[in-house]
Amino acid sequence: MADDHTHVQEFFTARAADWDTRFPDDGPAFATAISALGLRPGDAVLDAGCGTGRAMPALRAAVGPGGTVLGADLTAAMLESAVRAGRAGSGQLIQADAARLPLRARALDAVFAAGLVSHLSRPGTGLAEWARVVRPGGLLALFHPIGRAALAARHGRKLTDGDLRAEPNLGPLLARSGWRLASYVDEESRFLALAERTG
């Protein structure tokens, strides 16, 4: 997106109020991706770049009442929309930079990140930060409710070999950041890369 947080916040603040109405049919895709993450009752999970908190009810259902669900987003307006949508009841919302989290090391079992990695100015830094806060063997899901080609077409651009989320680029980036790519799906209806915390 951009190197400075101000630009990111301005972009998402302008879209926060109607974000959910722009993408009303994504709920089942979110639920399927969260199911693939394999969360267990009692787990602690972060929704990184949670936006309006669309994933949080499904994350809460996966970890149960004894689990921990955190939603972190840089943009206050997105978090306010999450509260208005009633999603604060599914977990704790915090305003934070996903690449500098106010969490102790190895505090989490998993990170779920929908549509976020391509918005990070330094994706490797963000991925390394998520590795810091996840226990060894913990999991990461990089998700988008449509595939890379469909997303590029939506934005009026062509898919290139340099795309960060292309498997030949993403695998090595994850490996350098403390993760091992475990599975990779890029189809018309979804993008889902699952990785395991190494070390």
Q: 50, exposed or middle or buried, with CB in 10 Å at 0-12, 13-18, 19+?
A: buried
185: β partners: 192
Neighbours of 189 (CB within 10 A): 11
Structure tokens belonging to residue 34: 């969260």
Residue 166 DSSP class: S
Q: Which pLDDT tens digit goes with each residue over 170-198?
A: 999 999 999 999 999 999 989 999 999 99
Residue 128 DSSP class: H
pLDDT value for 120: 87
Dist. CA 146–CA 148, nearest whole Å? 7
Which residues in the chain come in under a pLDDT of 50?
1-3
pLDDT value for 12: 62
At residue 153, what is the residue type? Answer: A
Dist. CA 94–CA 50, nearest whole Å? 10
pLDDT value for 7: 66
Tell me the three state secondary structure of residue 127. helix
Selection from 33, 3, 22 nearest residue 143 by Cα: 33
pLDDT value for 26: 78
